[in-house]
């Protein structure tokens, strides 16, 4: 496995660590795993045990899953050895020995992945499946997930959308305590193909902006398209989990099954579920 070590510069300051900044900016795996556990329990009235995390990158989510409950097991799949090595060096060592025994990662393509035993819940987060731009390829991926899920299996994917997509925004989020800003920058959108080009930039205080640290050339799939394809590959039921709003009209972090989203929604993040019975 490739090595990914945080290097120290001559002034003894940590050199820029893209995965650390990414994790602080866009990931909340400790919250995600609680949502996955609850959704599975509500649907099947029992606990999920094995979680498959597709496009797992540094597999922080897998680590949180095995920490959440004694019986939880996780398998993380990713094509790229670099983020897997980062997780091995930075997150995995923080688990206790029992948690370590219940987590494996595998350098595999999610389109052709084979699991030794079926998963109870499979997840793909941070919109990673948007990399599949053709319907046939997305369907192939969903078929692989379906075939490798157990009889009572749940597939959860996050999804974003809203009218902001047409405005090519660049949004800055300041992390004051951590002395850096995160930028979500949409460079392009093609309304004919629904293809979008997105970038993540970071700027540490007193330094120049580091541009294009992560780049995404995606098809922005709609909730309805994703649900249709899930049905086509065999899922008995699909759901959309839509986020509630707080008193200021902002998302409140509570995702509930719903068949009605708001019109005039500038930007949303939701979850889509495929339920295998």
What residues make contact with ligand SAM under the rule CB under 6 A?
27, 55-57, 77-80, 83, 109-111, 125-126, 128, 131
Written as six digits, the tokens of 20 are 């650390």
What DSSP character marks residue 14?
Answer: B
The distance of closest approach from Cβ of residue 25 to ligand SAM in the complex, given in angstroms and rounded to an integer, is: 10
Query: Of the two residues 27 and 181, which places its CB atom closer to ligand SAM in the complex?
Result: 27
Between CA 133 and CA 152 the distance in angstroms is 29
Query: Of the two residues 190 and 215, which places its CB atom closer to ligand SAM in the complex?
Result: 215
The distance of closest approach from Cβ of residue 3 to ligand SAM in the complex, given in angstroms and rounded to an integer, is: 17
- 155, 274 contact by CB (below 8 A): yes
Between CA 179 and CA 205 the distance in angstroms is 5
- 33, 68 contact by CB (below 8 A): yes
Query: Of the two residues 95 and 131, which places its CB atom closer to ligand SAM in the complex?
Result: 131
Query: Of the two residues 212 and 258, which places its CB atom closer to ligand SAM in the complex?
Result: 212
In 3D space, the residue among 232, 271, 229 whose CA is nearest the CA of residue 251 turns out to be: 271
Query: Of the two residues 128 and 181, which places its CB atom closer to ligand SAM in the complex?
Result: 128
Question: Residues in the chain, how many?
Answer: 277
Query: Of the two residues 72 and 208, which places its CB atom closer to ligand SAM in the complex?
Result: 72
The distance of closest approach from Cβ of residue 109 to ligand SAM in the complex, given in angstroms and rounded to an integer, is: 4
The distance of closest approach from Cβ of residue 121 to ligand SAM in the complex, given in angstroms and rounded to an integer, is: 15
Q: What is the DSSP string of 52-111?
A: EEET-TT-HHHHHHHHH-TT-EEEEEES-HHHHHHHHHHTGGGS-HHHHHTEEEEE--TT
Which residues touch 228 (CB under 8 Å, ≥6 apart)? Answer: none
The distance of closest approach from Cβ of residue 15 to ligand SAM in the complex, given in angstroms and rounded to an integer, is: 21
The distance of closest approach from Cβ of residue 262 to ligand SAM in the complex, given in angstroms and rounded to an integer, is: 26
The distance of closest approach from Cβ of residue 132 to ligand SAM in the complex, given in angstroms and rounded to an integer, is: 8
Query: Of the two residues 104 and 131, which places its CB atom closer to ligand SAM in the complex?
Result: 131
**DSSP H or E segment with residue 37:** helix 29-44
Between CA 62 and CA 84 the distance in angstroms is 12
Q: Is 264 exposed, middle or buried (0-12, 13-18, 19+ CB in 10 A)?
A: exposed
The distance of closest approach from Cβ of residue 54 to ligand SAM in the complex, given in angstroms and rounded to an integer, is: 7
Query: Of the two residues 144 and 238, which places its CB atom closer to ligand SAM in the complex?
Result: 144
Residue nearest ligand SAM, CB atom distance = 57
């Amino acid at each position: 496995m490739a090595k990914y070590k945080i290097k120290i510069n001559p002034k003894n300051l940590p050199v820029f660590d893209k995965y650390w900044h990414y994790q602080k900016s866009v990931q909340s795996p400790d919250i995600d795993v609680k949502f996955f556990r609850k959704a599975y329990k509500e649907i099947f009235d029992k606990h999920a045990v094995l979680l498959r995390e597709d496009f797992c990158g540094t597999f922080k989510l897998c680590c949180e899953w095995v920490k959440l409950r004694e019986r939880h097991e996780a398998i993380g799949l990713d094509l790229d050895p670099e983020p897997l090595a980062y997780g091995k060096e930075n997150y995995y060592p923080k688990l206790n020995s029992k948690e370590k025994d219940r987590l494996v990662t595998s350098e595999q393509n999610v389109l052709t992945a084979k699991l030794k035993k079926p998963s109870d819940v499979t997840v793909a987060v941070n919109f990673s499946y948007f990399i599949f731009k053709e319907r046939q390829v997305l369907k192939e991926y969903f078929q692989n997930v379906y075939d490798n899920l157990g009889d009572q299996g749940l597939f959860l994917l996050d999804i974003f959308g809203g009218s902001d997509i047409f405005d090519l925004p660049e949004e800055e989020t300041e992390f004051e305590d951590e002395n850096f800003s995160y930028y979500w920058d949409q460079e392009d959108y093609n309304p004919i193909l629904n293809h979008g080009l997105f970038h993540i930039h970071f700027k540490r205080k007193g330094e120049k902006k580091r541009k294009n640290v992560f780049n995404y050339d995606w098809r922005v799939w709609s909730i309805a398209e994703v649900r249709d394809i899930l049905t086509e590959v065999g899922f008995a039921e699909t759901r959309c989990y839509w986020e509630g709003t707080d008193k200021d009209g902002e998302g409140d972090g509570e995702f509930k099954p719903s068949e009605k989203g708001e019109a005039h929604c500038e930007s949303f993040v939701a979850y889509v579920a495929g339920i295998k019975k």
